[in-house]
Amino acid sequence: MTFNGRDLISIRDFSKEEIYHILDIAQGMVPIAKGEKRSDILKDHILATFFFEPSTRTRLSFESAMHRLCGNVINISGVEGTSLVKGESLADTIRMADAYSDVIVLRHPHEGAGRLAALHADKPVINGGDGAGQHPTQTLLDLFTIREAFGKVEGMNVALVGDLKFGRTVHSLSYALALLGANIHLVAPPILQMPKESMDHLAGLGHKPMASERLEDVIPKVDVVYMTRIQKERFDDPTMYARIAKLFTMNNEMLKNAKDDMIILHPLPRVDEIHPEVDQTPHAWYFKQAFYGVPVRMAILALLLGVVK
Amino acid sequence: MTFNGRDLISIRDFSKEEIYHILDIAQGMVPIAKGEKRSDILKDHILATFFFEPSTRTRLSFESAMHRLCGNVINISGVEGTSLVKGESLADTIRMADAYSDVIVLRHPHEGAGRLAALHADKPVINGGDGAGQHPTQTLLDLFTIREAFGKVEGMNVALVGDLKFGRTVHSLSYALALLGANIHLVAPPILQMPKESMDHLAGLGHKPMASERLEDVIPKVDVVYMTRIQKERFDDPTMYARIAKLFTMNNEMLKNAKDDMIILHPLPRVDEIHPEVDQTPHAWYFKQAFYGVPVRMAILALLLGVVK
Amino acid sequence: MTFNGRDLISIRDFSKEEIYHILDIAQGMVPIAKGEKRSDILKDHILATFFFEPSTRTRLSFESAMHRLCGNVINISGVEGTSLVKGESLADTIRMADAYSDVIVLRHPHEGAGRLAALHADKPVINGGDGAGQHPTQTLLDLFTIREAFGKVEGMNVALVGDLKFGRTVHSLSYALALLGANIHLVAPPILQMPKESMDHLAGLGHKPMASERLEDVIPKVDVVYMTRIQKERFDDPTMYARIAKLFTMNNEMLKNAKDDMIILHPLPRVDEIHPEVDQTPHAWYFKQAFYGVPVRMAILALLLGVVK
């Protein structure tokens, strides 16, 4: 098992053992991510964050991760990124990142961009989200958070809630949860069910998720509720949208029958799908989850750069 | 008197003693800000500069301050910042800064945003300007500059000139000047007089400023002329604007009867309110003032982060 | 020969000896630029990259150069830069960079902006391209690449190809090649010939370049082919453009009669003027050339900041 020089494009590129190893390394990074301990293991290194669409949390948590380990960052984002997408080929742009840095995080609107970039770079490429494709570091921080809460992922009951059709996050996460032996509950309205491709990946791992259309029925049974946003644009009929969005909104009323130690996760940013009143309950783990993006990305950077084994 | 972990939202949150202490610490930072001496007291720290409207000098002087002390910076600004303002709640955005950094500078178009941010962050929040509200680090660097020029603030005669109604800078500064015992001269056209709220703050400190509508009359009497821009948009009648703006424009002719050691300040950027010919006179202290933004912000960062007492 | 505190505005400000000295220092920077060796000679320094028009390679290679030597960077670019161009004077903006950093790279849409900036800054100003004017660090990295390939510049046959009229890059480069004793071949369509001013500079050095309108004829004779883009906007007639652009496009067919060790350079980004199939040939040196931007800019920064003699 070696990570030195590898790319991180899809969570499916990694074995169960490799995933656990990343989580273990991330565990050790937590005090450094909090600024309680100091490390300069990446002081000789430059991270290129090339963001061709906005993703503030992903970008800033990678940059924070790099700085916590005394590394440096060069960045393209915003308008500059957008105009690059229109101009030269992605291959040439990535060769530039390759020449000026030691490791590259790419966020791109087109599915498959991560894999393409990895082909043209000698340095490790980390997929920071490519359109409807993959976002593996999000999945790793989701798994890390579940393990922090319960000490394990295996055997945990995890509800994936909301838009399971278009929500990239849940496609990668469901695969990883199945690989690590969690039990998956799919909770979505009929028109936003998990697509066949993702269901096939689960079947390939011998996993058959439970399914429900009512969040209230599922909450009492599970350890983790993973919320995602249902976007208005998916519906032709705005009253239909309003009715359904309400059913998939988390609030304190919904939580009445939850287990005491049940945790709510969300990739953030949220809009209306979790009421702010929930933030005050012990179930609200989504801000902790956002923080865990830092130690998990520290672990990934250190492993791919070969400074940690 | 402790600064460790505190927020800096309004100059009115600080006592006279605390303000002087910040200025004293800033004094010691000057050679480091000039690059003549080295310090790495913030090497373990990350500053988040979250700018939801542009303010290039404020942002860059904070970033320079952080780097001079070997700290790191993560940043949101430009279009990315603007789109965030429209999307998730400020509370959630600030929690992100809180998770990824050790100290936060917020610039925001809405009055009260600084105070709101401080409520949702565990880490110190510095108000880098919130709409018509406060901009306390600007006030501190203004005070620092006056003290550098004259060795003290108490008893100095300071003219605040131009737009005293909408100019946020002069509201905070007038309060601080009164607190520190300076004598204030207000010089503004009738429609741009200091608002009642700010006058009440001065009265609360037992201070009654002098007032004039003619800059020429005031210049010979004062030690400091603090210029601000009169904006065309404030006037219905463009000829009225042109006539008034001319009266509140500083040029060498205006300076004929000034005291030899009188200094001119300006928060910058300037447009036409100070003629470039003034730059060559010994009265021009506005570029020095801009530089002093660095040592003052170094002091603030070091104090709030608890590495300096 | 001293570089400490000097500006770098035009390649014509430097003597042959000075150019060679920069290339020698750059040579020593290569292993550090690759991350194979470590240096912290700029750890106390701040670079301000003020980009008032986009130039991603120039900006990122300067930032990478600074980080490789453990220096820090503050930056204006994108929309923020654009709005600054419209607001305060360049003189005032540059004074801000001067106050907050130790060395300044300026990219600006207007010819002469670099020279103007240098007048108003105490710190060294590096011209990162000013409109139709100069871009001296590009020229230095071009020269460095030729010397890396052949061990020398003197006596080499260099074809400058494409748009020699509007292409800023080739104006500076042709001067420097003549100064260093290379033989220049100009290869351009009639309407895109090298302007009189640049021809006069060459004549002033006693150099008379060869000229041709056919790339195929020139390729077998030269050691270096320096490609530039022919822009559609330069032509009234789109069919004329298409016909000419094709004649000035590099592909493997064109390379049949090239010398074995001939190298192709390009300032990048490219669009269609070099076919991607050429990337796989040993002639393709343009990506190496882009990388050499880092060690060359490291040398320039270290020399102007006086940490290297």
Strand pairing category for B125-130 and B157-161: unpaired
The tens digit of pLDDT for each residue in C244-300 reads 888 999 999 999 999 999 999 999 999 889 999 999 999 999 999 999 999 999 999
**Residue A144 and residue A23 in contact, taking contact as beta carbons nearer than 8 Å:** yes
**Alpha helices per DSSP H over chain B:** 16-33, 56-68, 78-86, 90-100, 113-120, 136-150, 168-179, 196-204, 215-218, 238-247, 286-304
**Alpha helices per DSSP H over B228-285:** 238-247
**Residue B292 and residue B298 in contact, taking contact as beta carbons nearer than 8 Å:** no
Q: Any idea how long chain C is?
A: 309
Angle at CA B121, nearest 5°, toward B117 and B122? 150
**Residue B275 and residue B245 in contact, taking contact as beta carbons nearer than 8 Å:** no
Of B38, B61, B271, the CB nearest to C100: B61
Angle at CA A277, nearest 5°, toward A275 and A282? 110
* Chains near B (3 or more Cβ pairs under 8 Å): A, C
The tens digit of pLDDT for each residue in B183-213 reads 999 999 999 999 999 999 999 999 999 999 9
Identity at B58, one-letter amino acid code: T
B58 is catalytic: yes
Q: Which residues partner with B120 through β-bridges?
A: none
Our measurement of the distance from residue C121's CA atom to the centroid of its chain's CA atoms, rounded to an integer in Å, reads 23
Q: What is the predicted pLDDT for the residue at A85?
A: 65
Q: What is the mean pLDDT of chain B?
A: 95
Prior bond of A269 cis (ω within 30°): yes
Q: Which residue has the tokens 């001296």?
A: C136
The answer to whether residue B14 scores a pLDDT higher than 70 is yes
Identity at A239, one-letter amino acid code: T
Q: What is the predicted pLDDT for the residue at C83?
A: 67
Of A146, A134, A214, A215, nearest to A175 by C-alpha is: A134
Asked if B96 lies within 8 A of A64 by C-beta distance, the reply is: no
Q: What is the mean pLDDT of residues A253-280?
A: 96
> Distances from the Cα of B188 to the Cαs of B182, B226, C225, in angstroms?
19, 12, 66
pLDDT category of residue B172 using cuts at 50, 70 and 90 = very high
Give the pair of three-digit tokens for residue B203.
């009265």
Q: What is the predicted pLDDT for the residue at B88?
A: 85
Rounded distance between C-alpha atoms, residue C33 and residue A40, angstroms: 19
Among A234-243, B166-175, C11-20, the range with the most confident prediction by mean pLDDT is: C11-20
Q: Which residue has the tokens 């500064």?
A: B173
Rounded distance between C-alpha atoms, residue A168 and residue B302, angstroms: 42
Show the low-confidence residues of chain C (pLDDT under 70): 79, 82-83, 85-86
Q: What is the mean pLDDT of residues A271-284?
A: 96
Asked if A44 lies within 8 A of C64 by C-beta distance, the reply is: no
Residue A33, classed as helix, strand or coil, is helix
Angle at CA B188, nearest 5°, toward B186 and B192? 120
**Domains located in chain B, CATH noted:** 11-134+293-304 (3.40.50.1370), 137-289 (3.40.50.1370)
Q: What is the predicted pLDDT for the residue at B233?
A: 82
Rounded distance between C-alpha atoms, residue C119 and residue B225, angstroms: 27
Q: What is the predicted pLDDT for the residue at C168?
A: 85
**Residue C185 and residue C212 in contact, taking contact as beta carbons nearer than 8 Å:** yes
Quote the minimal CA–CA distance from A306 to chain C in Å. Answer: 13
Asked if A46 lies within 8 A of C57 by C-beta distance, the reply is: no
Rounded distance between C-alpha atoms, residue A257 and residue A247, angstroms: 16
The answer to whether residue A278 scores a pLDDT higher than 80 is yes
Rounded distance between C-alpha atoms, residue C135 and residue C154, angstroms: 22
pLDDT category of residue B133 using cuts at 50, 70 and 90 = confident
First vs last Cα of chain B: how many Å apart? 9
A281 is catalytic: no
Write out chain A residues lying below 8 Å of B89, CB-based: 276
Of B268, B236, B304, nearest to B142 by C-alpha is: B268
Angle at CA B255, nearest 5°, toward B250 and B258? 130
The DSSP output letter for A210 is E
pLDDT category of residue A83 using cuts at 50, 70 and 90 = low
Give the pair of three-digit tokens for residue A22.
């990343």
Which secondary-structure segment (H or E) carries A160? strand A157-161
Q: What is the predicted pLDDT for the residue at B82?
A: 66
The tens digit of pLDDT for each residue in B209-258 reads 999 999 999 999 999 999 999 888 888 888 989 888 889 999 999 999 99
pLDDT category of residue B77 using cuts at 50, 70 and 90 = confident
Q: Which residue has the tokens 């603007």?
A: B82
Residue C225, classed as helix, strand or coil, is strand
Of A35, A54, A290, the CB nearest to B45: A35
Q: What is the mean pLDDT of residues A107-119?
A: 95
Of B153, B159, B140, nearest to B209 by C-alpha is: B159
User: Which positions in chain B have a beta carbon within 8 angstroms of at least one beta carbon in chain C?
Assistant: 35, 38, 54, 56-57, 60-61, 63-64, 67-68, 70, 77-79, 268-271, 276, 287, 290-291, 293-294
**Alpha helices per DSSP H over chain A:** 16-33, 56-68, 78-86, 90-100, 113-120, 136-150, 168-179, 196-204, 215-218, 238-247, 286-304
pLDDT category of residue B85 using cuts at 50, 70 and 90 = low
The DSSP output letter for B274 is B
Asked if A92 lies within 8 A of C68 by C-beta distance, the reply is: no
Q: What is the predicted pLDDT for the residue at C165?
A: 93
**Residue C163 and residue C35 in contact, taking contact as beta carbons nearer than 8 Å:** no
Q: What is the mean pLDDT of chain A?
A: 95
Rounded distance between C-alpha atoms, residue C68 and residue B142, angstroms: 37
Residue A48, classed as helix, strand or coil, is strand
Rounded distance between C-alpha atoms, residue C274 and residue B94, angstroms: 47
